Amino acid sequence: MKPTLVILAAGMGSRYGGLKQLDEVGPNGEAIIDYSLYDAIKAGFGKVVFVIRTDFSEAFKARFEPNLKGRIEVEYVYQSRDKIPEGFNIHPEREKPWGTAHATMMAEPVTKEPFAVINADDFYGGNAYRAMADFLTSSTDQNEYAMVGYYVANTLSEFGSVSRGVCNTDAEGYLTTVVERTKILGESDGIFYYEGEDRTKLDGNTPVSMNFWGLKPNVFNYLTEDFKDFLSNHGNELKSEFYIPLVINNNIVKGTVRTKVLSCDSPWFGVTYQEDKPFVQEKIKTLIKSGEYPSHLWS
List the pLDDT tens digit at each of the 299 positions of the chain. Answer: 899 999 999 874 444 344 556 788 999 999 999 999 999 999 999 999 999 999 888 888 998 999 999 999 999 999 998 899 988 888 888 888 999 999 999 999 999 999 999 999 899 999 999 999 999 999 999 999 999 998 898 888 888 898 888 999 999 999 998 888 989 999 999 999 999 889 999 999 888 988 999 999 999 999 999 999 999 999 889 889 999 989 999 999 999 999 999 987 677 888 777 888 898 999 999 999 999 999 999 98
Structure pTM? 0.89
Cα–Cα distance measured from residue 255 to residue 269, given in angstroms and rounded to the nearest whole number: 32
Output the pLDDT for position 201.
96
Fold of 4-150+208-238+259-289: Spore Coat Polysaccharide Biosynthesis Protein SpsA; Chain A (3.90.550)
Q: Which of 50, 20, 56 is nearest to 37 (CA)?
A: 50
Summarised one tens digit per residue, pLDDT across range 210-220 is 899 999 999 99
Which DSSP string do the residues of 145-198 spell out, in sequence order?
A: EEEEEEEGGGS-BTTB-EEEEEEEE-TTSBEEEEEEEEEEEEETTEEEEEETTE
Cα–Cα distance measured from residue 113 to residue 136, given in angstroms and rounded to the nearest whole number: 9
Domain residue limits, the chain: 4-150+208-238+259-289
